[in-house]
A and B are shown apart, each in its own frame.
Chain A
Amino acid sequence: MNLIARGFTLASKALTRLARLLPDGRPDPLAHRRAELGRPTDRLDGRAKATGAVRYTAERQLPGLAYAVVVGSTISRGRVAAVHVPPAPGVLLVMTHDNAPAMKRTPAYATMKGPLGAAAMSLPVLNTDEIFWYGQPIAVVVAESLEQARYAASLIHADYEPWPARLSMADGKPYTPAHAVLEEPVTRRGDVRTALGAAAATVEAEYTTPLEHHNAMEPHATVANWEGDRLTVHDTAQYPYGVKEMLAKKFSLAEENVRVLAPFIGGGFGGKTPAWPHVWLTVAAAKLSGRPVKLVLSRADVFAMTGGRAPTRSRVALGADAAGRLIALEHDALAPCTTDEFAEAAVVASRHLYACPNVHVVQRVVRLDRIQNAFFRGPGVAPGSFALESAMDELAWRLDLDPLELRLRNEPERDPMSGISFTSRHLREAYALGAEAFGWSRRPPAPRATRDGRWLVGYGMAAAINPDAVLIAGVKLRLSADGTVTIRSSTNELGAGTSTAQSQAAADRLGLPLDRIRFEQGDSNVARTRIPGASAATTTLASAVWSARDNLVRELLKLVRETDSPLAGRPFEEVETRDGGLFGPRGGESYERVLARAGLEGVEVAGKSALPYQTIKRGTYSYGAHFCEVRVDEETGEARVTRWVGAFDGGRIVNPKQATSQMRGGIIMGIGMALTEETLLDERTGLIVNRGLAEYHVPTHADVPGIDIHFVDRPDPQTPLGAKGIGELGIVGVAAAIANAVYHATGERVRSLPITPDKLM
């Protein structure tokens, strides 16, 4: 372990000890008192989406708008000697490293170094002739029309001075990063090797997962408009506030002069959490051309110019005693990074899922000349859990034990790594719910025992875990004289159903019917808001709205002071918000009445999310259990998923309809990860060869069975709404459940994803 990693680990251990002195989370009355919460309400923006009325980023039209297309490098490492730009009609600007304005370097978001601006990488793209990855932008063409820009871009070519490039994980020297997305990179307890020697059953194997791309249906897009030194940017940003912060720094602007708008995003999955270089290059091109500029990445450019999920290689060793209790757990995970040290924590599940006295868990990285990898739904934990949960299945077979029973015997009482307690952990209940719904007890015990014509049929299961986070958000809440409430936030709606969930939560928080609440999102200027992902929007925003509600009550109590209101002079603590107004022990009145008496059109207050002491002091995780049936064609090796049951502990569920869709979405993405998805990067050149949706295979309608979702639905006693994040949970464990079912069907263990027919023939 290097010094920085050792320093991080020591600091985090010290913090864990200190954290015990922190107060607990504030129990939220809405965890139990609910009217709109818990209802399977239709999405409030559903109609606008289904009728095509929602405007996404690329659909912003501005007067004088020009169109940009990016040209990417065709080498992985070296320098650009010359860029040749043949004349073409309609061209307004060709921006290369020769004429691009200076853009300050800002730290890469995922490294968590310095202020958390949204930059995906710190490299000085187009401010240097140096090339760092294949597909790096070397020119931006701006033209009057999209067709003209595209044609002009097709004519541009460059001379290069190529340098040797490190493209394969086998090329570099693995090292320990400072931290693996805030998880300790190395944990060692007891003596794993001795324990493995004494174990009744052991598994030691290597598991690999490939490079994958998010492929949200909406390609990344940026529309930049300068008015003097004021900049307005429409961007497909999951993290609008971070993009604002980054652009202000890059272009030396006052933050108040930069506004980033991103109300609706056509899917993100982490791929739009950081801002990739095209975002600031569009802003630069608009500055240089003097025109508002729109850039939409082509699907091929999405593969080349935005990062994907890092490939991983995991060596896992497990040992159990004869009673099926783990006595040794080793997980040595390797993933690539770039000069920016973003280490995917593939070891998360191994650190927090099972009790085990002897543990050695290591996350290492190797620097490559590729584009920075990105957060991708369940970063680290999704590929890492494929390794751990496959190995657990292998161990169960060695022990001749039901894999579900093996997991039950190793449920921890406290967090296995830190020894701190959990705020809530209902994984046992999830196992029971899922097993019952699936009919797990009827699973034939032997592999390769069930056949249906040419199909071999198998059952598999796996556990899911994902860290829960409450991050930073602010909201503005306006109560109007007609008793309606508008809440504004800097987050956005990317398909998770945030606006609907927050409207439900705000309705119950204020004691109003749902149709009195309006939730507006996606304006970076509302408040400092750091929710780039992490399944944290629901609880973080709920916390901010809670604080806004408290501030509203205080404001309204000021208004009724020395009036005939039954609330006059009541202390804040005595007042409840319910039934359309404020109520104290001597009665209450409606919001409208309070404002009418004061002669006000409205009252606006701000709210900020509370510091999440509970997630620092204790371990807060969401959990789940997957059960599936997979059929494998004995002749062709084609594997198809035919039945799925998922059961989850995500605390109290805010909207069961949306939550069910969210879990299904994760599982379907996991089906792709297990069976079809792989970005094929030619390790000799760095070129991604399958850079399109016809060659990169995401699951289609025909690949997806009916997916049955269950929730434990018990409140976490310390989180806002009693809820825990579920956006990423669904994908975790899916690939292992499928690999385990494939083994049960065929007797073949596949340890490298995706499980394509060639691996089963």
Chain B
Amino acid sequence: MPSIQARLSVNGRKHEVELDTRVSLLDCLREHLGLTGTKKGCDQGACGACTVLLNGERVNSCLVLAAQCADAEVTTIEGLASSEVGRAMQEAFVRNDGLQCGYCTPGQVCSAVAMLAEYEAGVPSAVGGSGLTDAEIRERLAGNLCRCGAYNGILAAVREVVQ
């Protein structure tokens, strides 16, 4: 099978790894770089557990090949704590009990941080209208599933960070 020398920058650290061309960014993080904070829930872009920031924007890392990430900056849950909003979001999740089993949590946190940036940048949503309402937050986070049902706590956490 063909392999590549992949160059990745993850959480500000450069990595160079030889990878099978089929390796997703998600599997690269988890299986090759030991960054297991990013979770695999469905491996088909349906659950959001693998959300990371790619050049500051949220992506499902299961739908991105590691080979596509040369020259890109990847931020995972492990790197998020170095930003003020990332740390604040993590703390707010704990205080508001926006997590139970914890498996979707890294994806939720990454998604919430990027969602706020998208909102600030004027990226539209299906809700629209007046300000960052609860309905607006729920709509914008709807791609991150939580089977334990921590949604009320996650919403409260995001609200707390916004204020």
Contact = CB atoms under 8 A, between A and B. Distances in A.
Interface string B72-96: 0000111001000000001101110
B39 A217 contact: yes
Contacts of B116: none
A298 B43 CA distance: 8
Contacts, number: 184
A59 B30 contact: yes
Interface string A475-511: 0000000000000000001111100000000000000
Nearest to A215: B147
Nearest to B140: A701
B151 A217 contact: no
B43 A50 contact: no
A557 B142 CA distance: 58
A658 B94 CA distance: 11
Most chain A C-beta atoms within 10 Å of own C-beta, residue among B40, B90, B101, B137: B101
A692 B148 contact: no
B42 A265 contact: no
Interface SS, B side: loop
Interface SS, A side: loop
B52 to A, nearest CB: 10
A215 B104 CA distance: 12
A648 interface: no
A90 B20 CA distance: 12
Interface string A31-54: 000000000001101111111111
Interface string B3-46: 00000000000000000101100010011001011111111111
Contact of A495 (B135, B148, B151, B152): B148
Contacts of A269: 147
Given A217-B103, A219-B41, A700 B145 contact: yes
Interface stretch (A98-106, A333-341, A454-462, A702-710): A702-710
Nearest to B106: A52
Interface string A393-434: 000000000000000000000000000000000000000000
A422 to B, nearest CB: 29
Most chain B C-beta atoms within 10 Å of own C-beta, residue among A53, A59, A90, A701: A701
B53 interface: no
B78 A42 contact: no
Given A146-B27, A664-B149, A217 B97 contact: no
Contact of B31 (A146, A495, A669): A146
B101 A218 contact: yes
Interface residues of B, number: 60
Contact of B77 (A46, A52, A56, A151): A52
A569 interface: no
A660 interface: yes
Interface in A652-675: 657-658, 660-662, 664-669
B160 interface: no
Contact of B147 (A47, A216, A702): A216
A660 B151 CA distance: 12
Most chain B C-beta atoms within 10 Å of own C-beta, residue among A50, A54, A146, A214: A50
Contacts of B101: 49, 216-218, 264-267, 493-495
Contact of B152 (A215, A493, A664): A664
A3 B36 CA distance: 54
A596 interface: no
Given A59-B30, A217-B145, A266 B1 contact: no
Contacts of A704: 138, 149, 151-152
7 contacts: A43-B97, A56-B36, A146-B27, A148-B1, A151-B1, A217-B101, A664-B152
Interface of A: 42-43, 45-56, 58-59, 61, 89-90, 145-148, 151, 214-219, 264-267, 269, 296, 298-299, 493-497, 657-658, 660-662, 664-669, 692-694, 698-702, 704, 706-707
Interface of B: 1, 20, 22-23, 27, 30-31, 34, 36-47, 49, 76-78, 81, 90-91, 93-95, 97, 99-106, 109, 134-135, 137-139, 141-155
Task: Enumerate the 6 nearest inter-chain pairs by beta-carbon distance, A residue then B residue, closest first.
Answer: A52-B37, A49-B102, A266-B103, A495-B101, A668-B149, A665-B149
